[in-house]
Structure 1
């Protein structure tokens, strides 16, 4: 079988891959939800869902640094990568070992395409169809829920020291738009560092979202950042629902709905 991955690279899959290495946490979770857990032989240290995986599957490094010799020992049939999560050097090194599929996700359509590609590659078309249909239904219901919601200007922080935000050309920004959140840093690209100045606070931002990952923001950071956005409500949010693009989307829209209901009722997150 010949298939184009999401970088439009032609990859050849002669037989259904039996030994899988995933270098992307959200894609590892997706594999398990497709019923492929027994075929996974290697994951990253950030592949935390399902929680038991790291107790039974070899960890081959992170998303930016891998143990190539360990990967070779595992004799994979296919390695799953992502353009944003993994470097070009990692992809090229892995191509010297076996077939490599690279995803590239900016919106839900991209995510659904990836899930369907996995269905084709791993002979799990039925399972992939069920997941994609359910995501589409959840997204449609959430869109209906959002119809009468007012827009809010927000800042989404994902790192501290230096302070970094999610800006344009990211999956996070796409999901912010679905939530009618106007990104205060949409004029910037990707994940820029931002200079915060307490002497010139930004009074236009209505909501600050502090992500649970990759930086683990805590309650103490809410007070710290409030100085820079005096008119904003500062919330801790589950970063996985704003950045994971596999089967986690099945529950993301319920989470977003609860977030908006909390904001409406002025309840703590």
Structure 2
């Protein structure tokens, strides 16, 4: 592999990123999307390999930059050239060890620089990448009305974020990274307080690209919080909220939950095991009818 004019750093310096999906795949992943815990996601790009290791480049990208790349308004080359620096990761397959270094973009080798035409064309996209191209965020007004106290200003966005995260997880179960997170969280389900852990844990599955971003605030009554997010998910949250606002429906849902929880616990079905493990079992029609009877 090419010798780089880079400085070794600790993994903690890179930041907290986790794999979300592969964008380009040919005999192995070539470009991946990593979700970030801060204000940026990252593109993880394969560069080179030796007999012992694969070399990758991690490029933190803002929400707008990633959107431009997904929609072919910006090439991979332009993203690298517009960055101040990139992170280099040498991944040693045999031991699993990873060495990180930081490389100033001025020292980025020409041999590794993508072509000028390095756009994310549909012809090279994975199925996940094509879906990401189709998912466009837009403006949504979260209404505020009636008397508001200072604690409401933190509670309202928090509850909305939890519901949005839950609906995001359900809507994206086809993505392996999200499905694995859902299985892990549901495997620890014991009812009660663990429900809070599920909602908070699901926040980690959403890339910065799709997180609700505040566009404007107006706190007077009636007021609003203007958010930029996935509109279909916001509508799902709104529909569910309107549904449970009806007292009769809420009581029936609560009764159904208790009956379902009791039945699952008594029969040792997945998600309610004492050891928190996940066991896949087939549930027949008779079982389904018993669970939903209220």
TM-score (norm 2): 0.29
More strand by share: 2
TM-score (norm 1): 0.31
Over alpha carbons, which structure has the higher Rg?
A: 2
